[in-house]
Amino acid sequence: MRTRLITALAAGLPLAASAQSQLNLTQGVTEVSNRVYDLHMTIFYICCVIGAIVFGAMFYSMWRHRKSKGYKPASFHENVKVEIAWTVIPFLILVGMAIPATSTLLAMEDTSEADVTVLVTGSQWKWHYKYLDRDVEYFSLLATPRQQIENRLDKGENYLLEVDRPLVIPTDTKVRFLITSDDVIHSWWVPDFAVKKDANPGFINEAWTKVDEPGIYRGQCAELCGKDHGFMPVVVIAKEPAEYQAWLDEQERMQREAKAEEQRLLAMSMSMDELMELGERVYLGNCAACHQPNGQGIPGVFPSLVGTEMMLNDINGHIDIVVNGKNGTAMQSFKNMLSLREIAAVVTYERNAWGNNTGDMVQAADVNAYVNE
């Protein structure tokens, strides 16, 4: 009976060991991740051998030394030599494990200078990337539609592992990540790089990678960070350096133009319908996770937006909290995440949806007063 278990276990092992399966650690696409993978397999095989010896002895004994076979018990109960041996030998095995482990760990401390530095900031529940020395920064949000999560649509291939704007890095280049957080602790993890580093609020952490092959690499937040911890993936695209430069220049240009465009549009007013339509879209994408699609929030956790004092009577407070956030709560600042038009629209939407019906209209110029003055 018992042997059945061991056969099952033994059958599972080679399965686990087959490279690049969905049952084993990824080898990844960096030198470090390959070393990590090799170390993982080495330690795993050592454990298997020790396991085979110990369990082998145990099963042999259970088979041979049983009362039903009339086996009479021996009377030994100590043996100093044996006891010293099985203290010393495991210790030596451990030393053998510690040597490659130490060298891999030290290899992770590559001391050469990085060519690209990206500031990675976690917040509930999205990542923000900022290229230092370049004028490019953006948020990266889960792109999987709510309908898929709620099982109203079939799930896509990259369900929960897709974002609207992935991080882009060059290949064959040392990229340094500075990792921090705006609220609680998050952890930025890309298995293919063997990089997992906690994002601690108020502190910056450092990690780096050097990707060999262009491709799309997916990971997730690895530290419980509240309600939507399971819904903040990391997606990184590695491009050839030239392609990366072109992309970065393009982004910089686009972000500059978007700002200019925004200023130009300040003078233009949107109609109520336009505001409500844009506002609903922004609301569902950015606010509904906490305040819920019906605006009711979750009692005791996320406040309701329906019929409250702020919604009905305090338009300035309303714009202020959306622009600047509220310290010490999950309500974050949206001034860098949404455009002026979007903020104006979502505030208008919130003041008129779900029976709030204040009739208030907020225009980009009104919001501009809070953001830029």
Partner 1 sequence: MSEAPQTEPRPDNGRIIRRLLLTVAGMFAFGFALVPLYEAFCDLTGFNGRTRNEAAAVSTHQVDTSRTVNVQFITRNAQGMPWDFKAEMNSVRVHPGETRVVNFLASNPTGSNMVAQAIPSVAPGEAALYLNKTECFCFNQQPLQAGADTAMPMQFYLDPDIPEHIHTLTLSYTLYDMTANATPDVLAQMAPAN
Partner 2 sequence: MSTVVGEMDHHDHHHAPTGISRWLFTTNHKDIGSLYLWFSFIMFLVGGSMAMVIRAELFQPGLQLVDPHFFNQMTTVHGLIMVFGAVMPAFTGLANWMIPMMIGAPDMALPRMNNWSFWILPFAFAILLASLFMEGGGPAFGWTFYAPLSTTYSGDSTALFVFSVHIMGISSIMGAINVIVTIMNMRAPGMTYMKMPLFVWTWFITAFLLIAVMPVLAGAVTMVLTDKYFGTSFFDAAGGGDPVMFQHIFWFFGHPEVYIMILPSFGIISAIIPAFSRKKLFGYASMVYATAAIAGLSFLVWAHHMFTTGMPVAAELFFMYCTMLISVPTGVKVFNWVATMWRGSMTFEVPMLFALAFVILFTIGGFSGLMLAITPIDFQYHDTYFVVAHFHYVLVSGAIFSIMAAAYYWLPKWTGHMYDTTLARWHFWTSLISVNVLFFPMHFAGLAGMPRRIPDYAVQFADINQIVSIGGFAFGLSQLIFLWVVIKCVRTGEKAPAKPWEGAEGLEWTVPSPAPYHTFETPPKVD
Rule CB under 8 A: choose which of 30, 144, 180, 286 binds partner 1. Answer: 180
Element (H, E) at 362: none
**Nearer CB in complex with partner 2: 187/356:** 187
Pairwise CA distance, residues 125 & 202, whole Å:
17
Per the structure block, which two tokens stand in for 151? 């099982």
Asked if residue 324 lies in contact with residue 370, where contact means CB atoms within 8 angstroms, the answer is: yes
Pairwise CA distance, residues 247 & 22, whole Å:
32
**Is 256 a binder of partner 1 (CB under 8 A)?**
no
Supply the minimum distance, in Å, between the C-beta of residue 236 and partner 1: 20
Residue reference for tokens 């170390």:
39
Within 8 A by CB and 6+ apart from 344, the residues are: 270, 275, 362, 363, 364, 366, 367
Residues 191-220 contacting partner 1, CB under 8 A:
201-206
Per the structure block, which two tokens stand in for 264? 């130009």
Asked if residue 263 lies in contact with residue 340, where contact means CB atoms within 8 angstroms, the answer is: no
Pairwise CA distance, residues 329 & 296, whole Å:
17
Which of partner 1, partner 2, none binds 279 (CB below 5-8 Å, type-dependent)? none
The separation between the first and the last C-alpha atoms of the chain, rounded to the nearest angstrom, is 77
Supply the minimum distance, in Å, between the C-beta of residue 239 and partner 2: 23
Which of partner 2, partner 1, none binds 132 (CB below 5-8 Å, type-dependent)? partner 1
Supply the minimum distance, in Å, between the C-beta of residue 186 and partner 2: 10
Per the structure block, which two tokens stand in for 68? 């039903």
Which of partner 1, partner 2, none binds 348 (CB below 5-8 Å, type-dependent)? none
Rule CB under 8 A: choose which of 278, 289, 331, 346 binds partner 1. Answer: 331
**Nearer CB in complex with partner 1: 262/280:** 262
Pairwise CA distance, residues 137 & 204, whole Å:
17
Asked if residue 182 lies in contact with residue 122, where contact means CB atoms within 8 angstroms, the answer is: yes
Supply the minimum distance, in Å, between the C-beta of residue 331 and partner 2: 11
Pairwise CA distance, residues 323 & 317, whole Å:
10
Q: Are strands 215-221 and 186-190 parallel, antiparallel or unpaired?
A: antiparallel
Within 8 A by CB and 6+ apart from 336, the residues are: 128, 137, 139
Q: How many CB atoms lie within 10 A of CB 116?
A: 19
**Is 373 a binder of partner 1 (CB under 8 A)?**
yes
Supply the minimum distance, in Å, between the C-beta of residue 373 and partner 1: 6
Rule CB under 8 A: choose which of 34, 42, 104, 117 binds partner 1. Answer: 117
Rule CB under 8 A: choose which of 113, 154, 273, 309 binds partner 1. Answer: 113
**Is 33 a binder of partner 1 (CB under 8 A)?**
no
Which of partner 2, partner 1, none binds 67 (CB below 5-8 Å, type-dependent)? partner 2
CA atoms within 13 A on the CB side of 77: 2
Which of partner 2, partner 1, none binds 68 (CB below 5-8 Å, type-dependent)? partner 2
The residue range among 152-160, 161-169, 215-223, 331-339 that interacts with partner 1, by the rule CB under 8 A, is 331-339
Residue reference for tokens 């509930």:
124
Which of partner 1, partner 2, none binds 325 (CB below 5-8 Å, type-dependent)? partner 1
The residue range among 1-9, 87-95, 180-188, 346-354 that interacts with partner 1, by the rule CB under 8 A, is 180-188
**Nearer CB in complex with partner 2: 78/373:** 78
**Nearer CB in complex with partner 1: 117/148:** 117
Binding site for partner 1 (CB under 8 A): 111-114, 117, 119, 121, 132-133, 176, 178, 180, 182-183, 201-206, 320, 323-329, 331-333, 370, 372-373
